[in-house]
Structure 1
Amino acid sequence: MPSMTEPKLISGNSNRPLANSIARRMSMHRGVNVGLVDARVERFNDQEIFVEVFENVRGEDMFIIQSTSNPANDNLMELLIMSDALRRSSAARITAVIPYFGYARQDRRAKARTPISAKLVANLLTEAGVERVLTLDLHAAQIQGFFDIPVDNLYASPIFALDIEHHFKGKMGDIMIVSPDVGGVARARELAKRINAPLAIVDKRREKPGEVAEMTVIGNVTGKTCIIVDDICDTAGTLCKAAEVLMQNGAAEVHAYITHGVMSGPAVERVQASVMKSLVLTDSIEPTDPVRKAKNIRIVPTAPMFAQAILNIWSGTSVSSLFETETLGPIYEGMYSRG
């Protein structure tokens, strides 16, 4: 039976604009005001994190909205301490809504004597009292198996499909979806199937982390509007190099759709100076001022999808229904018209 109380949202400091947007969307769906629980999440002089919740949460279905993006350790500790505070305040259930799951790239032992930090983070969340996780485009799907609690992994590809059909209307026959490496083929293929587009691959070979030695295009991209699809854009070195290689292989133009815009170091400058016509990011990580001001970077919102997913979890209905473009279409109505 679904709970009779309203779902309650609380947010850390990692992405307050997204948390506020999710609350607004849920208020529209519910017809009642769904605000963020009044709390303070701050630091003492020695940078210890302190959380105080000012509202009664006993018996409530709580959703903590917190990306573990840069500064990853601070934001992760905020999430853990908020969960502990809610558990000790007798919340009925605690769901961690983590739009960007940090440490996800450390999902296996690539070398001897290295950690599997994603598993450690999963253990920490569970020990802190989190009973369910809602996230977006995990870097590796098997991370769901690191948890002994339910994990709902949403996908950005239905949103990207809506955006591509809207912005490339009349040119869909020229679209070529491109995976920037062999490891991302499954993600790129998923989007290609949604929009009925062919798939190409950029095979890259690294000499060491952060450096790309060689790139080869697998597939004929001549005259195509190439759309690179990936889950994370960090320093944008690989992305910009892949765009150059595609243009050298005859692509008409290159765009990119990336779920998580980490955008560290020289990323924004690289994107602005690159041959890419546009880079589309979601707001799973709060965009910095340089990202917002960049002329060829655009942000698509995830709040409508997260709001609906939270309501589905709260009411005990299917979250996997949000994997379909047809289901998300009405949720994003007004933003992407199919007319």
Structure 2
Amino acid sequence: MSDALVQARGLRKSFGDFEAVRGIDVDVARGETFGFLGPNGAGKSSTMRMIACVSPRTAGSLQVLGMDPGTDGPRIRARVGVVPQLDNLDLELTVRQNLEVYGRYFGLPRAHVRERAVELMEFAQLTDRADTPVEPLSGGMRRRLTIARSLVNSPELLLLDEPTTGLDPQARHLLWERLYRLKRDGVTQIITTHYMDEAEQLCDRLVVMDAGLIVAEGSPAELIERHSTREVLELRFEPEARPEPAVVGAALGEHDGRVEELPDRLLVYTADGERAQELVYRAGLRPLSAMVRRSSLEDVFLRLTGRTLVD
């Protein structure tokens, strides 16, 4: 990819005998929003830390902004913004002071930092809280301030690790709108998230990682088309009356459908949910509820990485 802002080939990261990232190839184009999805321990955070130049790679090649993090780490960090998973704001300082003090770390002139702080408080909708200490702010306000602070140096590349974890829906959607604005302004973004709807909303392309490897890559729509079906029929039965997946599969007959059993329901992956529902009822099966929905990125994620809980 000739316009790649980030390019990795055979990238590996080991911690002693444990290999967290096992030889991945990644290209992130200038101006796009790129996502890393995967269960806990998949290698997402290790990859992000290597891109952010805070963790050296074990093997392979990595170029960020056309430079090698191994030799040009300070120059890269000066042009990158990082939003960590956990806010690391200075709680005793005000909103304005958090921005101004952080800007000075980059050696920016005081007058420029003051002007930039005013712009970023407006961007984050925190102007009316400029002189309020961080400690009493809500989680959504703190998150917006953390993102604003990461933009003090006007970065070309913004790394966001779980940017909306723990926020209510209103705060999440406000943050999404802020990230859309950054994308329109040409800021390249790399995001890790556990929210599949967030990945579908924000990412132009993404990779799904599992056990340190990339198991799928593409746009959200491409991944859904490639690894799932157009629709999903969700069937809920009384626990003692729930049929085996094979029984539902037999009811579908020649109709295309893959049946998956969950603790509380059966999922039928199919091209035509209403037709599948009709066949289920014709076979005499009577679920408590039946719902047809479009297939989502979450269906892809769970099919590729499994439903086993990873701690």
Please indicate the TM-score interval, normalised by the length of the shorter structure. Answer: 0.3 to 0.5
Q: Which protein shows a greater Rg?
A: 2
What is the TM-score normalised by the length of structure 2? 0.33
